[in-house]
Amino acid sequence: MRKDILKINFTKFKGKEIAIVQGKIVASGNSSKAVFAMAKKQFPQLETKDITLLSVPREKVAIYILIK
Amino acid sequence: MEKYLFPYGFELLENKRVFAFPAVNITLQKENAKNEFSFLVLVDSGAEFSLFTKSDAELLGINIQQGEKVNIGGVTGDKFSAFIHPVIIKIGNEKIKIEAAFSEQNNTPRILGRNPLFSHFFIIFDHKKQNTIFIPRKNKHFEKILYK
């Protein structure tokens, strides 16, 4: 296990959208827009690109293809 | 040699088991828009194109319904519609205009697929050291090493 990597409790955040600021989870919810707004409210001084959004997978594997 | 090295982006912890994911930090921007938004996205060589969510489109100021509609299916049998829109993606210092799909849902994964990004970079998954390495294709030196 790497020490510098973001660690996410899968049971808690499965399928959730999370916002990360300086390596820490600062907000979570069901949509990136709402989660970004929550994070921006906490850190109004940050630029938009300084708040990272991550969609925590629902499953540990997902492959997507175009349906012709 | 110019390269961008991304340590695996995150680990999921469940029942004392750890799953590491090859996610990379990118920024996304609507064409001619001022703000860039940062996302941690899974690099997925099995995906034909890059996929983002409906809410991501709203965040970027994109009217999702104005794009070309496509149907998408996953290996688990789930199906949904998405809409194609041009966006500016930044990986390392490289800014590239791509066509990305935006799902009509919010509960779909956010992934970086092959088309067209895998044509702009050589991408190496170093699973042992848990790094994903992007080498710009314009780097002819690396291409020579690969194909000599």
Inter-chain touch A58–B107, beta carbons under 8 Å: yes
Which residue carries 């789930």 as its tokens? B78
Residues of the domain holding B118: 4-147
Place of tokens 């919010």: B106
Distance from CA of A44 to the nearest CA of B (A): 14
Quick check: B74 and A48 CB within 8 A? no
Per-residue confidence of chain B (148 residues) as pLDDT tens digits? 789 999 887 777 777 777 777 889 999 999 999 999 999 998 888 888 899 999 999 999 999 999 999 998 876 677 899 999 999 999 999 999 999 999 999 888 888 999 889 999 999 999 888 899 999 998 888 889 889 8
Q: Is this prediction's ipTM beyond 0.85?
A: yes
What is the tally of structural domains in chain B? 1
Question: What CATH number has the domain bearing residue B88?
Answer: 2.40.70.10
Q: Write the DSSP string, A9-60.
A: EHHHHTT-EEEEETTEEEEEES-HHHHHHHHHHH-TTS-GGGSEEEE--SSS
Answer whether B84 touches A (CB < 8 Å).
no
Which among B107, B94, B91 is positioned nearest to B41, based on CA atoms? Answer: B91
From chain A, the residues in CB contact with B79 under 8 A are 67
Answer yes or no: are the C-beta atoms of B100 and B87 closer than 8 Å.
yes
The tally of CA atoms less than 13 A away on the side-chain side of residue B65 is 0
Confirm or reject contact between A6 and chain B (CB < 8 A).
Answer: yes
Residue positions counted in chain B:
148
Report the pLDDT value the prediction gives residue B75, as an integer from 0 to 100: 66
Rounded (5°) CA angle B123-A25-B42: 20
Q: Which residue positions in chain A have pLDDT lower than 50?
A: 63-64
